[in-house]
């Protein structure tokens, strides 16, 4: 596979974005839940834990938003005509996602700034909106992804292409993808929360002991259940891709499994990496369970394995998304080959045939100075993000 900077930058931005988005979804659900349960049981530690996590949520949302926007801009600058096709066809799934992104953002702002200012009932309601909207954002975007797997529900009228929305949501790849995304996001976030409090515990054992222990007690079993659920969901999604042989073959060829022809590329190694990271999460959780069984839950070893588990969880998301994206390389719509695309009604058939190919990018946007500029600015931005994370999460007050 040749190196294309256009694809590299898309993957880079998307990779950071998607990891952050998974944390956003998980935190949006878990924070109001923790706050509600803490308030209900008069458990101040749980309420305080929710409040601490809220700051992480806001910062995560900011970084997710930045890289999501960067991804969109890179997408339409490198692939303007592919964006035209997707934007025209997938208008309804996009509209769902847009509405939910906005609702999630506003509930985040009002939930965060309104803490202790709203009545508990109002605050809980806003928390519910925050959780519900976060769960529905991927309902829109995964609808678009499912379309990119296979354009189910695509019809052509005299004016152009249109999408039968009900049919689009019956896409065999949609529900396994959506459900595994939600379960994956919740699971990874729970493991990441344990890891976060483990880092705090390692830095300040006395101050953070109670929080770390509470995080383990609250999230260990749900995350183990989530991880167990992820295995069948992951394979359900893989099996749904048998309807998209091009993609399926690129994933499975390394195991000697292909359907109806050869694979164009071999991305089995990403799948193996993905599985290895899942296994690592299991090992981390098993170690924590073993330590708990031995009555030695609060130890540096457990904290260390929690951090390993958290890192593996985020790595699993990244690997899974990269596998999903690269396995359809170089196509935007995986199931359409050039001949099939060209046979669609004109002019859309012409557009799709020409611009379904990721190697057919806007050369103006990939000119040499542009690449230098992008790399230089990205390097600066990554440094700024590191400083940002340090100042917001780790730097102590100067008071």
Partner 1 sequence: MSGINVWQQLVDYGSWSTRGMSIVGIGIHWGILQYVLGLPFMAFIAELIYFKTKDPDWMRIAKVLVKGTALVFAVGAATGTLVEFGLITVWPRVLTAVGKWLYFPMYAEVFAFIMEVLVIYMLWYGWDKLSPKARLVLTFFAFVGPWYSGAMIVAANAYMQIPTGLIPDYNATTGQWLYAEGYPKLTLVIPNSIASLLNVTTLQSLHVQIMGTTSDGVIAAVPVTIVDRLVYESFAGYTLNQSILKLVLKPSALNDPGLAAVPVLNVVNSIMDSTVRYYNIYLYLFESPDFAPSVMHSIGAGLTVSGFTAMAGFGTRLLSVKDKRYKEYLLKAFKFSVVFSLIVIIYQGLIAGHEMGVAVAHYQPEKFAAFEGLGVPGFTSIAELLHTGPIEKLLAYGTLSAHLPNYGYLMTHYSGWGNLSPTLGVPGTSTYLPPLIVDYAYYAMVVFGIALGVYALILTGYIAFHRADRIPRFWLYLLVPAAVLAQLSSYMGWAAREMGRLPWVVYGMMTLSDTITVNVPPAWGEALFSVFYIVIGAALVYAVYRFLWVPSKREVLDEVTY
Residue 160 near partner 1 by CB under 8 A: yes
Q: How many residues bind partner 1 (CB under 8 A)?
A: 73
Least Å distance, CB 91 to partner 1, is 5
Contact 136, 28 (CB under 8 A): no
Question: How far apart are alpha carbons 1 and 19 in whole angstroms?
Answer: 25
Residue 132 near partner 1 by CB under 8 A: no
Question: How far apart are alpha carbons 26 and 89 in whole angstroms?
Answer: 30
Least Å distance, CB 326 to partner 1, is 23
Residue 373 near partner 1 by CB under 8 A: yes
360 contacts: CB under 8 Å, gap ≥ 6:
354
* Binding test (CB under 8 A) with partner 1, winner from 113, 269, 290, 372: 113
Residue whose CB is less far from partner 1, 157 or 293: 157
Contact 87, 72 (CB under 8 A): no
Question: 3-state SS of 314-356?
Answer: HHHHHHHHHHHHHCCCCECCCCCCHHHHHCCCCCHHHHHHHHC
Which runs of consecutive H residues, i.e. helices, occur in 150-204? Answer: 165-168, 174-203
Residue 87 near partner 1 by CB under 8 A: yes
36 contacts: CB under 8 Å, gap ≥ 6:
124, 127
Residue 5 near partner 1 by CB under 8 A: no
Among 275, 287, 280, 288, which residue's Cα sits nearest to residue 312? 280
Residue whose CB is less far from partner 1, 301 or 346: 346
Q: Which of residues 53-82 bind partner 1 (CB under 8 A)?
A: 55, 58-59, 62-63, 65-66, 68-70, 72-74, 76-81
Place of tokens 């509405």: 99
Q: Which of residues 319-348 bind partner 1 (CB under 8 A)?
A: 346-348
Coil, helix or strand at residue 204: coil
Residue 110 near partner 1 by CB under 8 A: yes
Least Å distance, CB 68 to partner 1, is 8
Percent helix, strand and coil across the chain, each rounded to 5? 80, 0, 20
* Binding test (CB under 8 A) with partner 1, winner from 83, 266, 357, 360: 83
311 contacts: CB under 8 Å, gap ≥ 6:
195
Residue whose CB is less far from partner 1, 148 or 277: 148
Least Å distance, CB 165 to partner 1, is 11
Residue 109 near partner 1 by CB under 8 A: yes
* Binding test (CB under 8 A) with partner 1, winner from 351, 352, 356, 358: 351
* Binding test (CB under 8 A) with partner 1, winner from 1, 8, 41, 98: 98
Residue 362 near partner 1 by CB under 8 A: yes
Q: CA separation (Å) from 79 to 230, 303, 327, 366?
A: 33, 45, 19, 11
167 contacts: CB under 8 Å, gap ≥ 6:
152, 153
Among 13, 149, 152, 1, which residue's Cα sits nearest to residue 78? 13
Residue whose CB is less far from partner 1, 42 or 396: 396
Residue 117 near partner 1 by CB under 8 A: yes
Q: Could you tell me the two tokens for 278?
A: 């899942």
Residue 41 near partner 1 by CB under 8 A: no
Residue 398 near partner 1 by CB under 8 A: yes
* Binding test (CB under 8 A) with partner 1, winner from 37, 39, 84, 225: 84
Q: At what angle do helices 174-203 and 120-149 cross, to 10 degrees?
A: 130
Residue whose CB is less far from partner 1, 80 or 232: 80
Residue 384 near partner 1 by CB under 8 A: yes
Contact 38, 127 (CB under 8 A): no
Least Å distance, CB 33 to partner 1, is 23
Q: Which of residues 241-280 bind partner 1 (CB under 8 A)?
A: none
Residue 304 near partner 1 by CB under 8 A: no
* Binding test (CB under 8 A) with partner 1, winner from 102, 228, 231, 257: 102
Least Å distance, CB 128 to partner 1, is 17
């Amino acid at each position: 596979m040749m190196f294309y900077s256009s694809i590299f930058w898309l993957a880079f931005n998307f990779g950071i974005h998607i990891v952050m988005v998974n944390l956003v979804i998980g935190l949006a659900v878990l924070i109001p839940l923790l706050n509600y349960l803490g308030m209900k049981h008069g458990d101040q530690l749980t309420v305080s834990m929710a409040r601490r996590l809220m700051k992480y949520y806001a910062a995560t949302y900011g970084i997710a938003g930045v890289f999501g926007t960067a991804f969109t801009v890179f997408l339409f600058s490198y692939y303007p005509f592919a964006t035209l096709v997707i934007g025209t066809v997938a208008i309804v799934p996009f509209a769902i996602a847009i509405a939910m992104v906005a609702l999630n953002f506003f509930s985040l702002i009002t939930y965060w700034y309104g803490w202790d200012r709203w009545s508990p009932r109002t605050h809980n309601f806003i928390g519910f909106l925050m959780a519900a909207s976060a769960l529905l954002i991927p309902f829109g975007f995964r609808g678009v992804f499912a379309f990119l797997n296979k354009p189910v529900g695509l019809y052509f009228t005299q004016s152009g292409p249109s999408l039968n929305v009900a049919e689009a949501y019956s896409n065999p790849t949609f529900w396994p993808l959506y459900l595994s995304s939600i379960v994956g996001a919740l699971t990874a976030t729970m493991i990441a929360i344990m890891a976060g409090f483990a880092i705090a515990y390692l830095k300040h054992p006395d101050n953070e002991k109670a929080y770390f222990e509470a995080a383990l007690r609250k999230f260990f079993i749900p995350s183990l259940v989530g991880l167990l659920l992820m295995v069948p969901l992951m394979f359900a999604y893989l099996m749904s891709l048998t309807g998209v042989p091009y993609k399926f073959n690129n994933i499975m060829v390394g195991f000697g499994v292909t359907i109806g022809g050869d694979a164009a590329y071999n991305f089995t190694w990403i799948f193996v990496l993905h599985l290895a990271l899942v296994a690592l999460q299991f090992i981390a959780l098993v170690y924590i369970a073993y330590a708990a069984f031995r009555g030695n839950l609060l130890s540096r070893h457990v904290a260390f394995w929690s951090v390993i588990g958290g890192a593996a969880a985020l790595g699993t998301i990244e690997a899974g998304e990269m596998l999903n994206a690269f396995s359809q390389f170089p196509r935007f719509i995986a199931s359409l080959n050039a001949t099939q695309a060209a046979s669609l009604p004109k002019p859309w058939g012409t557009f799709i045939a020409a611009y379904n190919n990721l190697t057919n990018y806007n050369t103006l946007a990939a000119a040499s100075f542009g690449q230098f500029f992008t790399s230089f600015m990205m390097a600066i931005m990554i440094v700024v993000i590191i400083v940002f994370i340090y100042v917001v999460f780790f730097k102590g007050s100067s008071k």
